[in-house]
Amino acid sequence: MQFTKISLLAGLALGALVAATPAQAEDVTITVWSIDGANQVGPSDTFSAEFDAMDNGINVEYRVLQFDEIVNETLRAYATGNAPDIVSLDNPDFALFSSRGAFLDITDMAAQSDIINPEAYFEGPLNSVSWDGRLYGVGKYTDTIGVFYNKDMFAAAGIENPPKTWAEFEDYARKLAKPAEGVYGATLSARGNEEGTFQFLPVIQMSGGGYENVNTEGAREWLSMVKGMIDDGVLSQDVLSLGQWDSTGTFNSGNAAMAISGPWEIDRMVEDADFDWGVTLLPTFGEGDERSSALGGFNLGIMSTTKHPEEAFKVLEYFVSQDDRLFPEFGYLPTRGDVELPASGIEKKDAALAVFQEQLKYAQPRGPHPEWQKISKAIYDAEQAALTGQMTPDEALSQAQATIDTIIKK
């Protein structure tokens, strides 16, 4: 009986000691969703694995999704309370979440951060992660568009410099086109999808409009110009159906003198093009007029439902701290102006990158608006209708404007 009392007292003492000892904190798990890794290694899957390997009490669980499913999958997860902590979305889709309070407002956290500095970001990417003057994410990587041109063809035609205005663009394209030889003056993508809007919206923006005001004089003039070049064989009819990669392939093979496209083409040009080429800024309507360009790329945001906002922000900070690796390792342009691109040692490539870095200063987001997909469809439907002759440019853009007005006023 005495033994039983001693055992009991010892047990109580041990229990008290255990209770008094602070419990060891369990690791926190942060989930990250992105399309990186679906087709090739990318920043999100790489940086997630690196952070997960650190002994800092924060684990990262990474999930790869396909491009065409990540928005809907994230919406479903948010609605059912199963959203990830961090998600990477195409920049025009970001406002669908930030406008509804689905992303965490990180304005104050960023103000206290030694890593995330909103002032370092290009205006376009920064606008795409902002809503009502507050910050809801960071740009992950970006791209834009300019004009590739065949320097050999330009020299043979006695053209000394690339086009600065759309009038010069048309003039040069007409001089350089050789329809009988299968050579077009230029190529672009006016496809009936987001790629069409991606290339047409900057024209609207530089002529004083925007996604909420598409029927500008400049937009009508540009559609008339492009339709005239298609009708005359200066541009191929294929520009109405080809995406940017395939359209630029026409230029890359030497069958077009100019191409509107982006920095994703540079490595292919370096490897495949057997002619001298360069890149210039997207033309304006008049010398010295307002510039604009498309804003591509993805953003990163923390979902507002996260149970671990501080830990999620640390993961976000790590991703941002690796921005200097985006181009050398993955071929992506940073969304910040303070990240210098390392010289590749390839003269044409470095010169082209410098132009695209300059062009990013003028890139504007598609939107931001929570109903961007519907607005974009109205824009590319109008472009298709005008370029196929189903409507005049004014009729097509007026119809698009009426549709957009209805969407915005909802």
pLDDT digits (tens, 9 = 90+) for 13-26: 334 433 443 444 68
pTM for the model: 0.85
Of 356, 379, 400, at which residue does a domain stop?
356
Beta strands in 44-183 (DSSP E): 58-64, 86-90, 130-131, 134-135, 138-143, 146-150
- Cβ neighbors of 105 (< 8 A, separation 6 or more) are 134, 135, 136, 304
Contact 199, 245 (CB under 8 A): no
pLDDT(113) > 80: yes
CA distance 188 to 240: 9
Tokens matching residue 183:
């050579």
The verdict on residue 391 lying in a domain is: yes
Condensed to tens digits (0 to 9), the pLDDT of residues 253-293 reads: 999 999 999 999 999 999 999 999 999 999 999 989 999 99
385 and 239 fall within a common domain: yes
Orientation of helix 217-231 relative to helix 393-408, angle to 10°? 130
CA distance 221 to 245: 26
CA distance 380 to 241: 12
CA distance 189 to 182: 18
pLDDT for the residue 111: 98
pLDDT for the residue 9: 33
* Tally of residues, the chain: 410
Contact 138, 335 (CB under 8 A): yes
Give the percent of the chain with pLDDT over 90.
Answer: 88
pLDDT for the residue 26: 85
Contact 325, 342 (CB under 8 A): no
pLDDT(4) > 60: no
Of 331, 356, 381, at which residue does a domain stop?
356
352 and 376 fall within a common domain: no
Tokens matching residue 298:
């993805």
The verdict on residue 348 lying in a domain is: yes
Condensed to tens digits (0 to 9), the pLDDT of residues 65-98 reads: 998 899 999 999 999 999 999 999 999 999 999 9
Question: What secondary structure letter does DSSP report for 291?
Answer: P
The verdict on residue 15 lying in a domain is: no
107 and 202 fall within a common domain: no
Neighbours of 261 (CB within 10 A): 27
CA distance 318 to 307: 19
CA distance 202 to 209: 9
pLDDT for the residue 345: 93
397 and 328 fall within a common domain: no
112 and 152 fall within a common domain: no
pLDDT(11) > 50: no
Task: Indicate which CATH number applies to the domain containing 251.
Answer: 3.40.190.10
242 and 150 fall within a common domain: yes
Neighbours of 355 (CB within 10 A): 19
- Written as one letter, the residue type at 329 is E
130 and 256 fall within a common domain: no
Condensed to tens digits (0 to 9), the pLDDT of residues 170-208 reads: 999 999 999 889 999 999 999 999 999 999 999 999 999
344 and 376 fall within a common domain: no
The verdict on residue 331 lying in a domain is: yes
The H-or-E segment that residue 231 falls in is helix 217-231
| Containing structural domain, residue 136 | 28-142+296-356
| pLDDT-based confidence at residue 40 (cuts at 50, 70, 90) | confident
CA distance 150 to 341: 25
The verdict on residue 180 lying in a domain is: yes
Give the count of domains, the chain.
2
263 and 404 fall within a common domain: yes
